[in-house]
Each structure stands twice: as structure tokens, then as C-alpha cells.
Structure 1
Amino acid sequence: MRAERWYRAVWRWHFYAGLFCVPFVLWLSVTGGLYLFKPQIEGALYAPYRDVANGPVLPPAAIAARAVAAVPGSVLHKYVLPESPADSVQVLVGQGSEEVRVWVHPQTGAVLYQVPEEDRLMRVVFRLHGELLAGATGSALVETAACWTIVMLLTGLFLWWPRGAGRLAGVLYPRIGRGRAAFWRDIHAVTGLWISLGALFLIASGLPWANAWGDYFREVRAITGTAAGRQDWSAGSAAEAATRARADAGMRAMMSEHAEHDGMPMDHMAPAASSLDAVVASAGALHFAAPVEVSPPASDGTAWQVRSQTENRPRRDSAEIAGDGSLVGMQRFADRHWIDRAVGYGVAVHEGAWAGLANQFVNLAVLLGLVMMCVSSIVLWWRRRPATMLGAPLAMGRLQHSWGLVATVVALALAMPLFGLSLGMALVLETAIKRMSPRIRQWMGWRAAID
């Protein structure tokens, strides 16, 4: 029957999507679960550098100079406003694209701790989660797995959808006492029902970080004229490194020009170091959500940049301040393009920062559900697989074209180019194997005559 063929075909695509996605979903769930609790983890890690002063503190320019001196050859990249006057001051200094975060005692100027920015624990977890520590290649693998996970979830919902009236057992809750086979099937299906919407949201809200989809998104926005202002989410480690290198080169060029003009040696912090005190004072009066970063100008005639880097992105505001401390301009989150605001909310929810602990625990429940689905799928496959075959459901025959299916596939391929590319490659590979290798075809469960 055509309905049975359609059901069986969807089941096969669900199986193949899961076969590819399960290792990535497990990896992303574990690393994402760790990153959800970044505020608590970093709060514990850096607790020794809070509440260290008990008297008058040094001016910001002096503190920044101590940080620069602690890393030979560096220049000031960012000065982070302390949340309390008694806290140590975090200063990011760098050379080229490499940055070092330095904790400076605000009262004595002593360097309490320093670490390369990309070696910090949560930065490593961030790159493990989004790039597998493999740069653009890792990002492409993660993005492809994310796209196919969407297919896995959608086909899973189709397979789960109840086809008998009044049956809730095995749909909304698992059946207990029906044997191990029914138990694992129900755990897989019922968990998928309850977490699919949240999982789809987490995947969609994470795509702007991906290299390929992020570039695609930026190109579409440029063509449609909807790109406005600075992007407030990561474009990948390579793009971030290039941005840091350009800013560093600009600051060093300014230092060189000022040194030649004033006859000063090149070992000073920056040509506008004396302005830092006035800028920090003005930035503090803005009461942006912490942490707040103050960045020096990278070229003559430009202002200092003040940006909130709070995890809750809808609270991120920014400003430009002149070297004398006067406010040049300000941009509130509400002033940004609606697309940027939508992405900002999505990223904040994705990272568990929008609604505090409640957001973190809801996301964690979704991630634990994904892990449960992966584990149960492995158990189901292992229990049911034939000894001499991969275990994919056998094909029942050739399907007629479904324009609904075609439209859905085309829409997904247009929205997620890596999905379209990988789908095309999969179809070409499938056709080649069917024609060239009867043994592999049999192992995969393909029937040359009708599949």
C-alpha cells in the first residue's frame, strides 16, 4: 500500500539521519550542558579575584599599564569595568589576534593572574561545542549534523503521530510492564514528543554561530538591506581572530604615529592612555549591564567603544565616548534592527541567560531528553538489527512523487545550504552504491529492483 511505503520511507530517512547525528547530538548535549552554567562555573573559578581591595584604588590608566607590562609586546585591547570597586580589574591585552586576560589588583597594581583568552575553560568548551576545536571544518560538521537533526526530529514526529483514536499510552507517557522492547520504544518516542519543540528551537537559535549558515545569513541580509550595525554574535573563531588582528594593527599604527610626532618611546600603553580615566568614569555612569568592556580607538578620529557583554543579550547596550569623556552616541538593544533583536533573544535563550536559572534548567531538561533519545535509539537498533545487515527498515517499493515532501525538502535545502549539499551527496552516493556494489546494497537493506 502507498501509505505503508510512505511510512517505511520516512522511517528509513529517520534511521539514516539518526545514524549520522547521534554522536554529534551526544557531544553537543554534553558540551552545551556545561556551557549553560558558564556564569556559575566562572564565578567559582575567579572567586579569588573578587573583593580584594579595602582602600583607595589606582586610576584605570595605571591599572591598564600594569596589565600591558605583564605581557611584553602587548597593547591594551579592552578594559573591563569591575562590578565592585573592591574587585580586581580584568584587562585584555594582546598582540595581533592573540589576547591575554590579566587580573590586576585595583589597590596595589599587582598582577594576580593572567591566562590566554582562548585557553580559559569556558572558551575551550565554547569551541568544543561549536567547532570541535577544528575551526571551520569542525563548524561545518556541527552545522551539517544540526541540519540533519532537524530532519531526524521531524521524521520522528511523523512516525510517532498517533494513528488510533484514544490511545495515550506510548504517546504521552511510556507503557510500564509491557516488556523491554515496548519500554525502550516508548522512552524514545515519548521523550521525543516532549522535547522536540525545545530541541528545534535550540538548533535554530544556534545556527547564526555556524560558519556556513552565518555567512549565508549575512549575505541574505546584505542583499535585502536588513543588515544594520555590528553583529552581536560570534562568526566563528577565525573571523573573531581576524577582527582582533585588525583592531590590534590599527592601535599599533596609531601608537607609531603618535610616537613619531611626540618623540616618545614605543613602550607606552597606547597614544590615548591618558583618556582612559575619563572614558571609564563616563562609562560607569551609563550603568550598562555587567560585564562592560571599554575598547580604545583603532584609528584617528574615532571614539572609544563601550559595550555591555552581559550573557542576557537583550540587555546589551553600547556607546561611543570621546577621549575627554563626553558621550558621542549610544545604541540601546531596542534601537537595533528587528532581525538582530530576534537573534539576540534566541541566543540568550539558547545560552540559558534570558530567564536565569529557570532558563538554564529548561534547556538542561531538553539536552537530557536528547541524550535519552540517543541512548534509547542505540538500544533499539542494537536489539533489532539483523546479524548480517545494518538494520535499516527494508524498502517496500517505489513511491510516487509527493509535492508536499518535495516542497519541504526544497525549503529546508534553501534555508540550510549544508543540508541541501549533504542531501545531494547522499543521494549520489546511494545511487552509486546500488549500481556498483551489490554486497553493500544488500547490507544497507536496499533492493535494486524496487528501491
Structure 2
Amino acid sequence: MKKNEKLNKWLWKWHFLAGLITLPFILILSITGGIYLFKTDYEAKKQQHITEVSVQGEPIGFQEQWEIANQNAVKKPNSMIVPTKNNQATQFVSGRFSGKSDLYINPYTGKVSGEVITKKTDMYKVRKLHGELLMGSFGTKIVELIASWMVVLIVTGLYIFWPARKWNLSGFFIPRWKHGKRTFFRDLHAISGFWISGLLILVLAGGFPWTDVFGENFKYVQKVTNTGFPKTWHGIGLQSQPTGNAITLDEMVAKAVALELPGQTTIHFPKGPKGVFSISNQNPSDLESQKKIHYDQYSGQEMMTVAWADVGILMRARMWVMAFHQGEFGKWNWWLMLGVALVLTIMSISALVSYVLRKRKGSWGIPKVPVAFRVGYGIAIVVVILGLVFPLFGASILLLVLIEYLRKLKRKKVHPVPAS
């Protein structure tokens, strides 16, 4: 592959500028992302005194526990996690996402063992720092902008790193440590970036659905193409026929246990007198095994089963990359994500050290581009496509073009071209 040297210098300039601006944020994202991977183990130990109880004779019924939960929860519970162990407190869930809270009932004593409010947990703060820099919606947009530019950094970095003339296989694996500190740290940055570039694109794909602008656009595309969750997944349009008394939660738990669904099984409570009971399982290690079954709350009869194959292709892809992003596919995925977080941190720090060693006093050290270079149609088309896919990136490019135009205009006024 023969490289265009002028194009290489132009891409190097933009890679340099983008990296310099985004570096502090990338470090925050990589470090907080790595910390968040420990969420499950960290919270399991911290909340053990709430989630685990001593086995004491026969447990009370789930219906009675539900009534206790209704009386004590901050918000009325909308679902219950089916327990799988005798020493497990019964978990009643209220709300969703950041408004979620979990009330735990001791099934032997009927007492509340504790309540976990998501917003008050340590890992919630880590997640907020990772996803929005603790700045709410504005912070989310900054993270989205940084993630968009990271895609550009990866693409330009691959082109810049690719050898222009002769190949040296060791140059793809080992930094040159005999050529001085600057060369060593530059190689460390380039080589580590080369080897995780594909993974990093996949990780970024798993983060974009949480963003404001791209995320909302993606949801809109799902809606117009009918490739999201079907209405039946949420039981929309299904109604129970009120005849006598509703079945008990104990009966629903028996049905859920009989299904032997893999992963964590949840029973969703009816919304109103015509609502339905629903049973679903969350099993990130095998998304295809997930399903949702709806039941008439009075007769207990099965009304509809929705399998994962019934979910639209864009939603299934979205859930896959999001689960991958969080390391939920098993230990291999968890270690892989931790590795990406560590390598990204090392790569960012090595880039900073290399820049400090390269930078001359009184200068930003911005790479120079030949005056004769002009951006071709191919590059322009790529930039436009990226700007459409990532609107915040597109907006930032327009702003940079405007700034560059105003700078040129100012230079012309200060140094006017003499008349011939």
C-alpha cells in the first residue's frame, strides 16, 4: 500500500489536534470504564448483609412478601426477581434505570432486610462520571462528541501508522527502546493503538446507544424500520379478562420456576385491573435464550410468548454491542474489556509523554501541512458521511471550518495581496 505523503501529513495534523483535545476525556472514560467492570463483585460484597439472610424454618408466601414490599418501598414495586437460593432475600424492583430501587424482604421473618437506591450507590457515581462527566445532559453530549472523534482518531491513526515503504514485522509488536524515550513512547502509543483498533471500534459501538443525539437518531431509525422491540414484548395491546380474584404471586412464581429459563428470571406485575403478569429472563451470555411470556392475571393462562428472534434486528444488534461493551458475555468478555481499558490508558499516557518530549518551548508542536495540499473528494465524502452518522462530530467540523475561514480572512486583511 503506497501512501500519499501529503495526505499523511494532513491526517497526522488532525490526528494530533484531535488527540490533544480529547486526551483528558479519553483517560477519564478508560479509567472509569475499567472501574465499572467491577460493579457486580463490588456491590455483591457491599450489599451482602441485605441480599443474604439466614435460613430459619419455612418461608412465608410470595404474595404476603409482595404486600409487605408495597407498604415499605420508596416506590410501589413493578417486578420481582425470582430467588434461586434458600438464603436469598426476595428482591422487589421499583422504577427503571437511574430511578431504580430494590427492596429486599427476608422470606423467613417478613422483615425488610434493606433497600438499595441506585442513585445512592458508589457505582452509579462511577457510571455517571463515565457517561456524562457528572454534568448531566451537557456532559453526555461531550462524551458523545469525544467518542465520535475517537472513531476519527482510530481511522487516521491506522493510516499514519501503516508503513510507507519497507515492512518491519517487529515494528508491529515491539517499541523501539534503543532510539530514545520519545521514539519508545511514540511506538508504544502507535503499536498498542494498532492492535486494539478493531476492538475499540466495537466498544465505541456499544457505548453510542446510550448517547443523546446518536442514540435518539438510532431509536428513530428502529421505529420507522420496525426493527426494535415489538409491542408484544411489553404486552401492549394485551388485556386480562377480569373474572373473580387474581391469581397469587406464589402461583406465578411456580410457573416461572417450571419454565426453567436460563439467567435471571423476573416476574413483572400487572398494571391495573386489566394488566397482565409477565415472565422474562435476562441472560446476556446467551441473548438468543431470552424470551417474555404474558399471562392473564385472573385465570393464569398463557396469552403470548415472545422469543428473542421476534425482536427487530437493529435492537438485537444494539443489545449485543451494549452487552459486549459491559463485559457481560462471560469471563473472556470481562477480561477483554478490562484489557482494552488498560491498553487505552497506557496508549493515552504514552501519547502524552511522547508529545511532551517532542514539544519545543513556546510552541504547540502542531504538525505542518504542505501549502499545496488540497483535500480530495474521497476524503470530503468520508467526512460528510461521518458527520451525518455522528451529528455532533459534523457540527464540530463545521465550526472548525468556520474558524479556519475567519483566520484566513483575518490574515488577508493584515497582509493584503498587492495589486498587479
TM-score (norm 1): 0.81
SS in 2 for 1:220: helix
Q: Distance in 2 between matches of 1:231 and 1:36?
A: 33
Does structure 1 retain, via aligned residues, the 8 Å contact 2:78–2:94? yes
Any residues of structure 2 matched to 1:200-349 within 5 Å, and which?
200-229=201-230, 275-312=248-285, 314=287, 315-323=289-297, 324-349=299-324
Q: Distance in 1 between matches of 2:416 and 2:249?
A: 73
Q: Distance in 1 between matches of 2:221 and 2:14?
A: 30
Q: Which residue of 2 aligns with 1:187?
A: 188
How far residue 371 of structure 1 moved from its aligned partner, in angstroms, is: 0.7
Q: Distance in 2 between matches of 1:417 and 1:39?
A: 34
SS in 2 for 1:307: strand
Q: Which residue of 1 aligns with 2:68?
A: 66
Does structure 1 retain, via aligned residues, the 8 Å contact 2:52–2:89? yes
Q: Which residue of 1 aligns with 2:35?
A: 34
Q: Distance in 2 between matches of 1:433 and 1:293?
A: 60
Q: Which residue of 2 aligns with 1:402?
A: 376
Deviates more, 1:51-60 or 1:11-20: 51-60
- The AA in structure 1 aligned to 2:301 is S
Q: Distance in 1 between matches of 2:208 and 2:221?
A: 14
Q: Which residue of 2 aligns with 1:177?
A: 178
How far residue 192 of structure 1 moved from its aligned partner, in angstroms, is: 0.9
Does structure 2 retain, via aligned residues, the 8 Å contact 1:296–1:303? yes
How far residue 448 of structure 1 moved from its aligned partner, in angstroms, is: 11
| CA-to-aligned-CA distance 1:111-153 (integer Å, 9 cap, x gap) | 1111323223333333322222333222211111101001011
How far residue 13 of structure 1 moved from its aligned partner, in angstroms, is: 0.6
- The AA in structure 1 aligned to 2:270 is P
| CA-to-aligned-CA distance 1:280-316 (integer Å, 9 cap, x gap) | 2222222233432222222442312323234436143
- The AA in structure 1 aligned to 2:25 is F
How far residue 338 of structure 1 moved from its aligned partner, in angstroms, is: 2.3
SS in 1 for 2:364: coil
Q: Distance in 2 between matches of 1:183 and 1:64?
A: 62
Q: Which residue of 1 aligns with 2:392?
A: 418
Q: Distance in 1 between matches of 2:165 and 2:411?
A: 41
Q: Distance in 2 between matches of 1:370 and 1:3?
A: 28
Q: Distance in 1 between matches of 2:277 and 2:283?
A: 19
Q: Distance in 2 between matches of 1:408 and 1:231?
A: 39
- The AA in structure 1 aligned to 2:320 is Y
SS in 1 for 2:115: strand
How far residue 104 of structure 1 moved from its aligned partner, in angstroms, is: 1.1
Q: Distance in 1 between matches of 2:339 and 2:141?
A: 26
Does structure 1 retain, via aligned residues, the 8 Å contact 2:386–2:393? yes
SS in 2 for 1:85: coil
Does structure 2 retain, via aligned residues, the 8 Å contact 1:212–1:418? yes
Q: Which residue of 2 aligns with 1:266?
A: none
SS in 1 for 2:171: coil
Say if 1:47 and 1:171 are closer, same or farther in 2 by CA, change over 3 A: same
Deviates more, 1:106-115 or 1:395-404: 395-404
Does structure 2 retain, via aligned residues, the 8 Å contact 1:53–1:105? no
| CA-to-aligned-CA distance 1:159-184 (integer Å, 9 cap, x gap) | 10011223234333212322212111
Q: Report percent identity of matched pairs.
A: 29
SS in 2 for 1:82: coil
**Any gaps of 5 or more consecutive residues in structure 1?**
233-242, 248-257, 259-270, 442-446
Q: Distance in 1 between matches of 2:231 and 2:180?
A: 56
Say if 1:35 and 1:307 are closer, same or farther in 2 by CA, change over 3 A: farther
Does structure 2 retain, via aligned residues, the 8 Å contact 1:77–1:296? yes
Q: Distance in 2 between matches of 1:30 and 1:68?
A: 39
- The AA in structure 1 aligned to 2:356 is W
SS in 2 for 1:390: coil
Deviates more, 1:314-323 or 1:107-116: 314-323
SS in 1 for 2:101: strand
Say if 1:198 and 1:223 are closer, same or farther in 2 by CA, change over 3 A: same
Does structure 2 retain, via aligned residues, the 8 Å contact 1:281–1:325? no
Matched, 1:370 2:335: no
Does structure 2 retain, via aligned residues, the 8 Å contact 1:51–1:84? no
- The AA in structure 1 aligned to 2:382 is T
Does structure 1 retain, via aligned residues, the 8 Å contact 2:232–2:306? no
SS in 2 for 1:330: strand
SS in 1 for 2:80: strand
Deviates more, 1:361-370 or 1:335-344: 335-344
Any residues of structure 2 matched to 1:137-176 within 5 Å, and which?
137-176=138-177
Deviates more, 1:366-375 or 1:419-428: 419-428
Say if 1:120 and 1:330 are closer, same or farther in 2 by CA, change over 3 A: farther
Does structure 2 retain, via aligned residues, the 8 Å contact 1:17–1:152? yes
- Two-structure CA RMSD over aligned residues (Å): 3.0
Does structure 1 retain, via aligned residues, the 8 Å contact 2:78–2:269? yes
How far residue 437 of structure 1 moved from its aligned partner, in angstroms, is: 8.3
Does structure 2 retain, via aligned residues, the 8 Å contact 1:37–1:360? no
Any residues of structure 2 matched to 1:104-115 within 5 Å, and which?
104-115=105-116
Any residues of structure 2 matched to 1:73-92 within 5 Å, and which?
74-92=75-93
Q: Distance in 2 between matches of 1:289 and 1:436?
A: 66
Q: Which residue of 1 aligns with 2:239?
A: none
Q: Distance in 1 between matches of 2:8 and 2:107?
A: 67
- The AA in structure 1 aligned to 2:62 is P
How far residue 7 of structure 1 moved from its aligned partner, in angstroms, is: 1.6
| CA-to-aligned-CA distance 1:226-268 (integer Å, 9 cap, x gap) | 3342699xxxxxxxxxx9xxx9xxxxxxxxxx9xxxxxxxxxx
How far residue 18 of structure 1 moved from its aligned partner, in angstroms, is: 0.7
- The AA in structure 2 aligned to 1:192 is G
Deviates more, 1:221-230 or 1:408-417: 221-230
How far residue 31 of structure 1 moved from its aligned partner, in angstroms, is: 1.6
Q: Which residue of 2 aligns with 1:265?
A: none
SS in 2 for 1:353: coil
TM-score (norm 2): 0.87
Aligned residue-pair number: 403
